Amino acid sequence: MKPVIAILGRPNAGKSTLFNRLTKSRNAIVDNFPGVTRDRLYGSGIWNDIEFSVIDTGGFLSGSDDMFSGETRGQIKAALSEADCVILLFDGRNGVSPYDSEMADMVRGVSVPVFTAVNKIDGPEHEKKAVDFFRLGLDPIFSMSAEHNYGVSDLMDHVTASFDKTLSESEPDAVKVAIIGRPNVGKSSLLNSILGEERVIVSEIPGTTRDAIDTPFRVDDRSYILIDTAGIRRKSKVYQRLEKFSVIKALAGLKRCDIALIVLDASEGITEQDVRIAGYAFERGCGCVFLLNKWDIVEKDDKTFTEIKEDLRYKAKYLAFAPVLTVSALTGKRVAKVLEVVDNVHAQYCTRISTGPLNRIMERATTRTEPSLAHGRRIKFYYTTQAGTKPPSFIAFTNYPDKVHFSYHRYLINQIREGSGLDSVPLRLFLRKRGEEENSHVKKGKPKGSRTKKKKTLRGRRKKR
């Protein structure tokens, strides 16, 4: 197991900036507005050839007017219970505050090493600002600037000194699963229900989740990363800059996931925004699973599963292949089946088909329904090969790729889906003109004015003479 570093501090101390610095990412949202981070945010880093995990936590405020302060403190305590090491971060620009003294008292009883760092010390000329923090009784104290990378190396050299020098064994690639949907459809509740613990803060107030929260976990021998995202509202309804960042992070979570769990509120039916969010997942080539959440409060006399499913298939025709599952994150009903469906979809998502069977599928498809004519000539498909996975992607070589009608293109995809058994994932079929690569190779190998051409020209002149 990799050692775990927890970063603690009050709001706006620079915890998320340090997190991004150590993980070499921009996964944590950074803003001057205090209280941006509320949940635990995980990341991976490496220093001096030592791998470790980093936890970014919410800002510590005791007795704050923030309605989420209690839940945030709970997240901080959970991070402390997981940590092998703690970085206690202070704001050197604003000096010591009463919250800093309370945080210092809180970590005194921690059994793991605690490293105290005063952030926002941008250079040697500002070192004197860190002196005041010695009265907290914590030693040693490291002066640093997470934003400008000043003093970070000295801190991390000491932090990693006690860690195991050997790199942890490489773990199998985890299945990345993003949970997306509108605000208040139950995404965070679903994540907590899958994990069986209060991993993220749940509230009826829209916008509670701001970051895209990565949660790694294992079931038997299978590794997963659950990505809880902020609710995606219509662009016309997004006014605050912070919410715009949250939506951007949510969409970025789709880009790096394998499977998207599209959570819908079954009690409200299928909305236009639900369909739009599903379109985002489809455009990014994710494997998709629709989850009709809050099924426990749906009046079965008014709405049946068949009716809602037909409505979903009608409004999101392009995702007709995606499995649909009814769940209740609140009661846990059928939540255990979610990972089972994810495993099935992921297995297809990574499937590779041999060239022989693939060409037999295409041959049967083109024989059953021939393509239309192009310039009075029949469109021919010569051979097809698989170009990649995640999602399964294929290249078909033909004489008139630009003349293949979109309906016939869709027909070929459906035939590949039917013949290969890939009935639950998106497929990509690219059309190429046969010989394009060969012709380009010839052009590169024999440019104009080559030696061979000159010889022929000289021979021609001799014959004329």
DSSP 253-320: HHHT-SEEEEEEETTT---HHHHHHHHHHHHTT-EEEEEEE-GGGS-TTT--HHHHHHHHHHHTGGGT
Q: Are residues 138 and 267 in the same domain?
A: no
Amino acid occupying residue 164:
D
Element housing 75 (H / E)? helix 69-82
Structure tokens at 170: 């490489």
In a domain, 464, yes or no: no
Instruction: Examine the fold and report which residue of 110, 136, 161 is the final residue of a domain before the chain moves on.
Output: 161
Q: Are residues 187 and 291 in the same domain?
A: yes
Q: Is the pLDDT of residue 332 over 60?
A: yes
Q: How far apart are CA 147 and CA 425, in angstroms?
A: 42
Region of residue 184 (phi > 0: left; psi between -120 and 50: alpha; otherwise: beta): left
In a domain, 443, yes or no: no
Q: Give the residue numbers spanning the domain of 104.
A: 4-161
Structure tokens at 207: 């916008």
Q: How far apart are CA 247 and CA 125, in angstroms?
A: 39
Q: How many CB atoms lie within 10 A of CB 133?
A: 22
> How is 177-191 classified by DSSP, letter by letter?
EEEEESTTSSHHHHH
Cβ contacts of 34 within 8 Å, gap of 6 or more: 11, 12, 59
Q: How far apart are CA 405 and CA 169, in angstroms?
A: 50
Q: How far apart are CA 120 and CA 146, in angstroms?
A: 7
Q: Are residues 140 and 244 in the same domain?
A: no
Residue 344 or 299, more confident? 344
Q: Is the pLDDT of residue 263 over 80?
A: yes
What integer is the mean pLDDT of 278-284?
91
Q: Are residues 286 and 395 in the same domain?
A: no
Q: How far apart are CA 272 and CA 263, in angstroms?
A: 14
Q: Is the pLDDT of residue 442 over 60?
A: no
Q: According to the model, what pLDDT value does residue 361 have?
A: 96
Residue 426 or 218, more confident? 426
What integer is the mean pLDDT of 161-169?
59
At 431 the three-state DSSP class reads strand
Which among 47-56, 117-126, 403-412 has the top mean pLDDT? 403-412
The pLDDT tens digits for 383-416 are 999 999 999 999 999 999 999 999 999 999 999 9
In a domain, 100, yes or no: yes
107-64-76 Cα angle (round to 5): 35
**Is 432:396 a contact under the CB 8 Å cutoff?**
yes
Amino acid occupying residue 229:
T
What integer is the mean pLDDT of 309-314?
92
Which among 16-20, 183-187, 327-331, 338-342 has the top mean pLDDT? 338-342
Q: Are residues 331 and 376 in the same domain?
A: no
Q: According to the model, what pLDDT value does residue 452 have?
A: 45
Residue 84 or 408, more confident? 408
Q: Are residues 66 and 112 in the same domain?
A: yes
ω before 172 within 30° of 0 (cis)? no
Q: How many CB atoms lie within 10 A of CB 174?
A: 16
CATH code of residue 393: 3.30.300.20
The band of 317, judged by pLDDT with boundaries at 50, 70 and 90, is: very high
The band of 172, judged by pLDDT with boundaries at 50, 70 and 90, is: low
Q: Are residues 225 and 360 in the same domain?
A: no
Taking only Cα atoms into account, the Rg of the chain, rounded to an integer number of angstroms, comes to 29
Q: At what angle do helices 15-23 and 152-161 cross, to 10 degrees?
A: 70
Q: How far apart are CA 356 and CA 104, in angstroms?
A: 67
**Is 21:119 a contact under the CB 8 Å cutoff?**
no
Residue identified by tokens 């079954």 is 266
CATH code of residue 197: 3.40.50.300
Q: How many CB atoms lie within 10 A of CB 401?
A: 18
Instruction: Examine the fold and report which residue of 132, 161, 190 is the final residue of a domain before the chain moves on.
Output: 161
In a domain, 459, yes or no: no
Tally of domains within the chain: 3
Instruction: Flag whether the pTM goes above 0.75.
Output: no
In a domain, 453, yes or no: no
Q: Is the pLDDT of residue 47 over 70?
A: yes
Q: How far apart are CA 193 and CA 69, in angstroms?
A: 22
Q: According to the model, what pLDDT value does residue 65 have?
A: 47
